[in-house]
Amino acid sequence: MSDALVIIPTYNERESVIDVLDRLSLAAPNVDVLVVDDGSPDGTADLVAAYAEHNRRIHVLNRRTKEGLGPAYIAGFRWAFERDYDWVVEMDADGSHDPAVVPVLVRIARSISAELVIGSRWIPEGAVVGWNPLRQLISRAGNIYARLALHSHIGDLTAGFRAIRVDALRAIRLDSIASSGYCFQIEIADRIERRGGLVVEHPIRFAERAHGTSKMHLGIVVEAFLRITGWGLLRLIGRY
């Protein structure tokens, strides 16, 4: 068994997930993979299960209902806890994240004992391909707002491509994580940073998905704004 587990949450990703798994198997053949499927009606889980019959490093965790990104990742983290992995890697199933970067993130984490290594779009040499200017502006503005509100030094708090030390996840009390959407990524990074864990960022090229539809919607944006604002106000009150 590998000491690193790539966790890929899925919901209706039948068109892209096998290509991602193929590329990941070539780029990181010594890393285990867990696909956490939230009851995809398009048969994503069954497709991955059939694929896993010919690759012992691929595993599937079936969940009955769609509960959001946060609960899916937490289920994957607990699966990793039970099997004593040292590292987990968060990665999307839509092809936006380059599988060739997975061993790079893990290697950086191991070499400097980082608790969190983020594949960052919004630092020098990072890039986003396929987004229109408005979407880039929204993402940049959201990261700037989160960074200011939380007094963070992380350039891409919302990034979904990252390697995390399992012991760091054990220490931040996953049962108290409140976020379900993309704000989950902010909450995890913020908790690790506030505990004094070493957080580093590695520039990546993020590509817009080629298949399927984005899971981003207004409710996710509102959740993130309200939670970040609340956390920021509580810290401000605490300082005074």
- How does pLDDT run across 134-151, given as a tens digit for each residue? 989 988 998 999 999 999
Instruction: Read off the pLDDT of each residue in 92-104 and give the average, rounded to a whole number.
Output: 96
What element of type H or E holds 75? helix 69-82
Residue 108 CB-half CA count within 13 A = 19
Of 230 and 75, more confident: 75
Please report the domains of the chain, with CATH numbers, ordered by start residue: 4-239 (3.90.550.10)
Q: Give the pLDDT confidence score for residue 240 in this predicted structure.
A: 60
Give the ranges where 5-65 is alpha helix by DSSP (H). Answer: 17-27, 44-52
Percent of the chain with pLDDT over 70: 95
Model confidence at 230, pLDDT cuts 50, 70, 90, reads: confident
What amino acid occupies position 137?
L
Q: Give the pLDDT confidence score for residue 210 in this predicted structure.
A: 72
> pLDDT tens digit string along 181-229?
778 999 999 999 999 999 999 999 999 877 666 655 667 677 778 888 8
Nearest to 169 by CA among 95, 116, 97, 119: 116
Q: Give the pLDDT confidence score for residue 63 in this predicted structure.
A: 94
SS3 content of the chain, % helix, strand, coil (to 5): 45, 20, 35
Instruction: Read off the pLDDT of each residue in 112-125 and give the average, rounded to a whole number.
Output: 96
Question: What is the pLDDT of the chain when averaged over all its residues?
Answer: 92
What amino acid occupies position 155?
G
pLDDT(236) > 80: no
Nearest to 214 by CA among 5, 11, 3: 11
What element of type H or E holds 226? helix 218-239
Model confidence at 85, pLDDT cuts 50, 70, 90, reads: very high
Give the SS3 label for residue 5: strand
* Residue 183 tokens, joined: 């704000």
Of 52 and 64, more confident: 52
